[in-house]
Structure 1
């Protein structure tokens, strides 16, 4: 069968997650899937403009395609940050209109922007004027007492009028008062039907669905209704299934990557980062779930957790941990 999904498409996206989807995590994800679209942690416009740009914008060239997610509501600041994203080589810039935390609400960032569609449209307009790369929006199906579908459609139409054509829709309403961000990931129930309806009513728009997706068959089924999927915490805590993304979502005929080989490549990456002054724990923490469900995975995870943050920890710790899931000769298996 010939491929029906372009390798450059957003058929499968890995979500922006604060304290999770940093550049090291994205490097590991790229070893598991060549074609998944990667998203950075949300970075505020203030951090980019006034902070350490190397820290906030740096990424590895192997991450492509990769998007920078911005948090903000000032059109000029967002336009400036979009220009920087393009200069640094990002393939897309994404505006966060979905985060429900109190801290971002108070700064007019995240889900609260769904109440201010005209502001979002002005932001998108100026961002698009500043760059040639795609400018996209990630948002909820609604906030608080916003009428479910009518409010969603009105928001999307207003933002689309500014030229945005790609909408990543978390299929759960955000309650901005009374629920924590963690609770907002589980309450209220997911409403996939509203996202499907949005795609039916606005077929010219690229609609990516997000929320509650836990496996490849689930993700592949979504392509019968929308243009792509975005997966977050399930991919982080159980990343092994990402090894099948290229075959299931992009119709790649290449063999799925072997997890032990992926592990070895990531150990090499960890060694490179150590030589640059990065601590082992900062990089290696993303390996904790790689062997989830396999024999010895619990001991592997415990060993890493106990040792990667110790002063002076090096990649010997990673090889020693691998013995719990592979046996006593990991270095020989990796060709060392």
Structure 2
């Protein structure tokens, strides 16, 4: 892994395609998941977990921003509200080679609310605009915002438009819209992912109202058919849990949405391509479970997939567990004679 800009010398500050994205998800979209995802799709835009500005400024910056150049295109998602701190962290994002820096205005947890981070900022559009303006001034990277369509107490269409207009006036051109409100009082973060109803029509209406802005839709999207429906009305789609629990879905993205061949022809091929990375991480002192937990869904719905998951779950945590655990687990899934990308 490298915490430095790409070793190939390429410039990674041009705006990436957001036609198909995987959402930032705490504890899930780690560098180990992202490495697997990139073996399945070259074009999908990947996002880090949310990293708070405080963690980057006062914590182990190298650890939080560590990634492999193979993960590009890659966006860093920040959590914070202090304009100066956001600007500092935007500079770090560029220094460390990310392709985009994104501000989290959607996380509904109590912990982040208490630090003026996440969805509660929907109620403070001027503060978001101030932060976005500072970030844009500090970096040449694209600065984007991921947000809800509202929060309790500020959930009207006019409230949403006020937020969009103020943040756009600060220079933001890309809005990633989770098509639900966040209920900050009374619902857990998990409940906030399911209980508030999806209002895709609001996101479509945003694109119609502000055609000059790039509008990416997020929330509850699971299939390519759904993606195509949304792409008729928006500029891009962002998938979350489906892309994590069923990562092989990503193997169809390049052909389906970009007209490119997939980098891996089979699940087996993709996993074997990850072996050198796993070995290098083990040598660095990373426990196998930190990597293997992201592989459990790779054979979702495939004969032998359950045995694959069970073997990893029962053995990856043992002292000294190494690559042989993954290799033995893979033997429990028969490799197809003719490798082909499965339908999503």
TM range (shorter): over 0.9
Please identify which structure carries the higher helix content. 1
- 1:232 matched to 2:232? The reply is no
Aligned residue number for residue 333 of structure 1: none
Shift of the alpha carbon at 1:146? Answer: 1.8
Shift of the alpha carbon at 1:249? Answer: 1.4
Structure 1 pair 222–50 and aligned structure 2 pair: CA distance change class (3 A): same
Aligned residue number for residue 204 of structure 1: 212
Moved over 6 A (4+): none
- 1:73 matched to 2:68? The reply is no
Which residue, out of 170, 181, 190, partners 1:182?
Answer: 190
Once the two structures are superposed, residues 102-122 of structure 1 have per-residue CA deviations (whole angstroms, 9 ceiling, x without a partner) of: 000000000000000000000
Number of aligned residue pairs: give it. Answer: 322
- 1:90 matched to 2:90? The reply is no
Which residue, out of 268, 281, 297, partners 1:273?
Answer: 281
**Structure 2 unaligned regions, length at least 5:** 1-14, 336-344
CA contact (8 A) 1:270 1:284 kept: no
* TM-score for both structures, normalised by structure 2: 0.91
Equivalent position SS for 1:83? helix
Shift of the alpha carbon at 1:175? Answer: 0.1
**Alpha-carbon distance in structure 2 between the residues aligned to 1:78 and 1:267:** 36
Structure 1 pair 133–244 and aligned structure 2 pair: CA distance change class (3 A): same
Equivalent position SS for 2:24? coil
Equivalent position SS for 1:173? strand
Aligned residue number for residue 334 of structure 2: 326
Aligned residue number for residue 33 of structure 1: 41
* Pairs within 5 Å for 1:58-69: 58-69=66-77
Once the two structures are superposed, residues 246-275 of structure 1 have per-residue CA deviations (whole angstroms, 9 ceiling, x without a partner) of: 111112255763211001011221111111
The farther-off stretch of 262-271 and 80-89 is 262-271
**Alpha-carbon distance in structure 2 between the residues aligned to 1:253 and 1:283:** 26
**Alpha-carbon distance in structure 2 between the residues aligned to 1:28 and 1:19:** 15
**Structure 1 unaligned regions, length at least 5:** 1-6, 328-336
Equivalent position SS for 1:96? strand
Once the two structures are superposed, residues 106-154 of structure 1 have per-residue CA deviations (whole angstroms, 9 ceiling, x without a partner) of: 0000000000000000000000000001000000000013233221111
The farther-off stretch of 265-274 and 20-29 is 265-274
CA contact (8 A) 2:104 2:118 kept: yes
* Pairs within 5 Å for 1:1-336: 8-253=16-261, 257-326=265-334
**Alpha-carbon distance in structure 2 between the residues aligned to 1:148 and 1:228:** 24
C-alpha RMSD over aligned residues: 1.4
Shift of the alpha carbon at 1:323? Answer: 1.7
